[in-house]
């Protein structure tokens, strides 16, 4: 008896996994090529490089070619252009296809999904050589909710020395699990806050101070910070600023939720990911692997008042 063909969501995940691995190669190639082609978008802290551009074209075109009915929203605004065939990834991960789709998602159709693409998260850090802060984020939303995601870390292990495999791809689906990363918890009773390194403000710092932390880690990238929550390096990602967008949070949120963590705005409200939502997460970001309520309760009312969702 032949087995039934995989559910659409798992076929999409299998392709997205391969597309994220292709993105890793492009990010590395642009860096080793030496010319980053840096452009300022809204200012010196909002940059775009050749890697952001090429990876966005690669991800969006590869997905659209295979799945033409998807809604795909990418961070970068690029002129429509002929796509270099070398940027197209047509493969799919056989490993991902070994997993069955959670029953409640098995009916999902191509035209019901919104894909949120951050081709390179942590661009500022990429241009400064802080390579392990960089991730590629592909988030999958259904019915306004982040339900699955792929995060590639192109420079994972880059300081680990000879023999270490460079880069990794983490993927997860709600009610199925997360793969490609080992979950670890912060030692009991320790409060380690992780926040922005290059987009601080008075409000961001007021909120971090109110957490009464044992330690504050300042690093780039929304994807990087959520990975550090999952690996037990930080307890809460606190960002009291409207700077993050839906493509920054969709994949990390889905992966965090798939290991029973929680990502919301700073008020504790869930984020929405339907195609007409405003891109900006104007209510800020609060995320934890465990003990969400503890950190949510420490957000000052004065901060909440200034961050209207």
Q: Which positions are catalytic?
A: 52, 123
Residues paired with residue 43 on neighbouring β-strands, in sequence order: 46
Using CB under 5 A as the binding rule, the residues of this chain from 134 to 173 that contact Mg ion are none
Task: Give CA–CA dist 301/288, Å, rounded.
Answer: 20
Out of 154, 221, 261, 284, the only residue in the binding site for ligand AMP (CB under 6 A) is: 221
Out of 52, 89, 121, 253, the only residue in the binding site for ligand AMP (CB under 6 A) is: 121
Using CB under 6 A as the binding rule, the residues of this chain from 46 to 75 that contact ligand AMP are 46
Interface stretch with Mg ion, choices 71-79, 154-162, 165-173, 283-291 (CB under 5 A): 71-79
- Smallest distance, ligand AMP to C-beta of residue 144, A: 21
Q: Which of 231, 292, 274, 259 is nearest to 71 (CA)?
A: 274
- Smallest distance, ligand AMP to C-beta of residue 297, A: 23
Non-local (6+) Cβ contacts of 228 within 8 A are 194, 217, 219, 234, 237
Contact 135, 151 (CB under 8 A): yes
Non-local (6+) Cβ contacts of 306 within 8 A are 203, 240
Using CB under 5 A as the binding rule, the residues of this chain from 74 to 93 that contact Mg ion are 75
Q: Looking up tokens 């998602």, which residue turns up?
A: 105
Phi first, then psi: give them for residue 81, nearest 5 degrees: -155, 165
Q: How many positions of this chain bind ligand AMP (CB under 6 A)?
A: 14
Q: How many positions of this chain bind Mg ion (CB under 5 A)?
A: 5
Phi first, then psi: give them for residue 196, nearest 5 degrees: -65, 155
- Smallest distance, ligand AMP to C-beta of residue 222, A: 4
Question: 127 or 157, CB closer to ligand AMP?
Answer: 127
Out of 243, 252, 261, 284, the only residue in the binding site for ligand AMP (CB under 6 A) is: 243
Out of 52, 248, 253, 265, the only residue in the binding site for ligand AMP (CB under 6 A) is: 248
Site string for Mg ion, 239-258 (x = CB under 5 A): ---------x----------
Contact 250, 142 (CB under 8 A): no
- Smallest distance, Mg ion to C-beta of residue 180, A: 20
Helix (H) or strand (E) holding 89: none
Using CB under 6 A as the binding rule, the residues of this chain from 187 to 206 that contact ligand AMP are 196, 198-199
Contact 27, 134 (CB under 8 A): yes
Question: 168 or 218, CB closer to ligand AMP?
Answer: 218
- Smallest distance, ligand AMP to C-beta of residue 2, A: 44
Closest residue to bound ligand AMP by CB: 243
241 near ligand AMP (CB under 6 A): yes
Listing DSSP states for 3-72 in one string gives PPPPPHHHHHHHHHHHHHHHHHHHHHHHHHHS----EEEEETTEEE-HHHHHHHHHHHHHHHHH-TT-EE
Say how far residue 148 (Cα) sits from the centre of its chain.
11
125 near Mg ion (CB under 5 A): no
- Binding-site ranges for Mg ion (CB under 5 A): 75, 118, 120-121, 248
- Binding-site ranges for ligand AMP (CB under 6 A): 45-46, 121-122, 196, 198-199, 220-222, 241, 243-244, 248
């Amino acid at each position: 008896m032949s087995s039934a063909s995989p559910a659409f969501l798992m076929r999409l995940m299998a392709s997205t996994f391969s597309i994220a691995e292709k993105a890793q190669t492009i990010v590395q190639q642009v860096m080793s090529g030496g010319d980053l082609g840096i452009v300022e978008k809204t200012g010196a802290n909002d940059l775009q490089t050749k890697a952001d551009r090429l990876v966005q074209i690669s991800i969006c075109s590869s997905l659209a070619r295979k799945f033409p009915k998807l809604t795909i929203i990418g961070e970068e605004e690029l002129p429509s252009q002929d796509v270099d065939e070398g940027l197209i990834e047509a493969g799919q991960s056989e490993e991902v296809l070994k997993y069955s789709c959670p029953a409640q998602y098995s009916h999902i159709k191509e035209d019901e999904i919104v894909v949120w693409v951050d081709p390179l998260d942590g661009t500022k850090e990429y241009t400064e050589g802080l390579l392990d802060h960089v991730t590629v984020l592909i988030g999958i939303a259904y019915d306004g909710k982040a339900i699955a995601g792929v995060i590639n870390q192109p420079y994972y292990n880059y300081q680990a020395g000879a023999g270490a495999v460079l880069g990794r791809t983490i993927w997860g689906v709600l009610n199925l699990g997360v793969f490609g990363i080992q979950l670890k918890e912060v030692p009991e009773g320790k409060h380690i806050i992780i926040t922005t390194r290059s987009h601080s403000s008075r409000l961001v710092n007021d909120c971090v101070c109110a957490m009464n932390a044992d330690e504050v880690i300042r690093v780039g990238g929304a994807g990087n910070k959520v990975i550090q929550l999952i690996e037990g390096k930080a307890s809460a990602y606190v960002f009291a600023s409207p700077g993050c967008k839906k493509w920054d949070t969709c994949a990390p949120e889905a992966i965090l939720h798939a290991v029973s963590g929680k990502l919301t705005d700073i008020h504790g409200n869930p984020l929405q990911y339907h195609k007409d939502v405003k891109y900006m997460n104007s209510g800020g970001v609060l995320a934890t692997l465990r003990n969400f309520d503890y950190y949510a309760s420490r957000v000052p009312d004065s901060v909440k008042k200034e961050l209207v969702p």
